[in-house]
Amino acid sequence: MEKVDSRVKLQYLSVESIDQNASQIIALDVIFAQNHSAMKDQVRVRFAPSPTGPLHVGGLRTALFNYLFAKQHGGAFILRIEDTDQKRYVAGAEDYIIKALDWCHIPADESPTNPGAYGPYRQSERQDIYTAWAHKLVQQGSAYYAFDSNEELEALRREQETNGQTFVYNFNNRATLTNGLNMSEASVQQRINSGDAYVIRFKAPHNRLLKLQDQIRGTVSIDCNTLDDKILYKSDGMPTYHLANVIDDHLMKITHVIRGEEWLPSLALHVLLYEAFGWNPPEFAHLPLILKPSGNGKLSKRDGDKLGFPVFPIDWEGEIPAKGFKGAGYLPEALINFLGLLGWNPGTEQELFSLTEMTKAFSLSSVNKGGARFDIEKLNWFNQQYLAKMAPSQLAPILKKSFPFLNNFPESQLNKVVALTQERLVFIDDFWSAAGYFFKAPNSFDEKALKRIARAETSSLIDRIIAVLSTYDESASTTLQEYIKNWISSNNIGFGAVMQPLRLALVGDLKGPDVFDIITILGRKEACQRMAFLQSKL
């Protein structure tokens, strides 16, 4: 997507021409809303990231909670790309966001690539809409043109700081600054026609206490005297987050705004904007932060590099590449399960949730107010659990992608190997360390284990074990396990004296699944050859 420079659309329009343009767009929006009134009761939520780089895991958690809420209520999950900040736009970021949601199995019902009836779904393509509504706010006195230069405002900030104060553009000083509140309509018209740079600021109320409701945090009280006159429309012709966000949420019929805690300070302005437009606001819910593993501060994009784990869902191949959870070997089901429990308490001891189960159990009332610590070891545990619970026939094809030589191994045998070793896997790449001995005989042995079995009688005992394995009749009703155990018992040999060298020969260490399961897969001939090799090392 190309960057958009829409300043010329507004800079050289007269007040009258803007007024005519605004009336046409707003009239069309009213007709549109009437034609779609049947959908007004449907739950509609949105995930609205900025395409400024790869999607952070905190944003992914926000998307997940929106998805769960929408699906639980039979509603729609919308992806809207908020690209009004063209200076921070990063090529490829939008595509990355869509691919990340798809990989996590939480795709949007409506998006730039899957549009519905409420598009466009990129804010850079909705410029005329924002222009119209911004001018309407000016017309009705809820907002005003401000022509103050950056240099003028910076000088005022420095002056206030010198006096130990903080400069705030609001009711205290708006009457003394260079804005439309202090000019005639003709003067405003002349400056616009002359191409003077300007912004549109919201006129925040004075001496008013707002009491707002949040579905997670309850009642939130805001003293309007602490608010500044926020810029709604920038000098580059693009709306700020605040204006575009409110207009889009209304026109896209968003019923619930579920977003991060960092947007809580914007709640008052957004509610005031809804009021100024004469619109009913959606329900709001502000999610707790995801904290660093130490619990001290918000988990940032830099923490992954510092602490050695990913913070992005999939690999990012931008100017500064970064490995994601997918590339690091995590399953999407494990990541989603882990994120779902970061800040949400199901009220039970259950920890493993499929996406369907989580959707049924989720509720905003069970979301915590406090931040949730990102525990990478817990995520590793989830990954291990999901690998362990997969059917071998499902896991085997995934393993083949990482270990192509497995394609030459009989499928039935591979499934048996997977079934015996998958509980030992934390990541797919662990398969070789957990099961490599099934495909390649050990050429060395654990030193401690070797010393443990290195007794004078061990070599002769290995000869006897090889003989017993070689003479076992596979057509007999007795299993190999029973046959060996009977032989051990009848010859008064210690069970460990036989099983330890046998396991060490097969695996290279004194660990692994059942010895007789290993022999069944390797075959008795291979087992005997490995025993002989161990004997040569004693």
pLDDT at 26 (0 to 100)? 55
pLDDT at 339 (0 to 100)? 98
Instruction: Give the 3-state secondary structure of 303-319.
Output: HHHHHCCCCCCCCECCC
pLDDT at 87 (0 to 100)? 86
**Residue carrying structure tokens 């990063």:** 90
Of the residues 99, 292, 301, 323, only one is catalytic, namely 301
pLDDT at 16 (0 to 100)? 47
Q: For the residues of 72-133, what is the DSSP string, one character each? A: HTT-EEEE-B----GGG--TTHHHHHHHHHHHTT---SB-SSS--TT---BGGG-HHHHHHH
**Pick from 252, 234, 248, 196: which is nearest to 6 by CA?**
234
**pLDDT per position as a tens digit, 512-527:** 999 999 999 999 999 9
Q: What's the rounded Cα separation, in Å, for the pair 48 and 258?
A: 10
Classify the C-alpha dihedral 386-390-394-398 as positive or negative: positive
Q: What's the rounded Cα separation, in Å, for the pair 99 and 79?
A: 12
**pLDDT per position as a tens digit, 342-354:** 999 999 999 999 9
Asked about 301 being catalytic, the answer comes back as yes
Residues of the chain with pLDDT > 70, as a percent, come to 93
**pLDDT per position as a tens digit, 271-291:** 999 999 999 999 999 999 999
- Above 60 in pLDDT, residue 180? yes
Lowest pLDDT segment from 176-185, 374-383, 407-416, 466-475:
466-475
The helix/strand/coil state of 300 is: coil
pLDDT at 393 (0 to 100)? 96
Please tell me the pTM assigned to this model. Answer: 0.88
**pLDDT per position as a tens digit, 303-340:** 888 888 999 999 999 888 999 999 999 999 999 999 99
| pLDDT (mean) for 171-196 | 95
**pLDDT per position as a tens digit, 17-58:** 444 445 545 554 554 444 444 445 799 999 999 999 999 999
Lowest pLDDT segment from 306-310, 360-364, 400-404:
306-310
Backbone angles phi, psi at 293, to 5 degrees: -55, -30
Lowest pLDDT segment from 268-272, 294-298, 338-342:
294-298
pLDDT at 97 (0 to 100)? 98
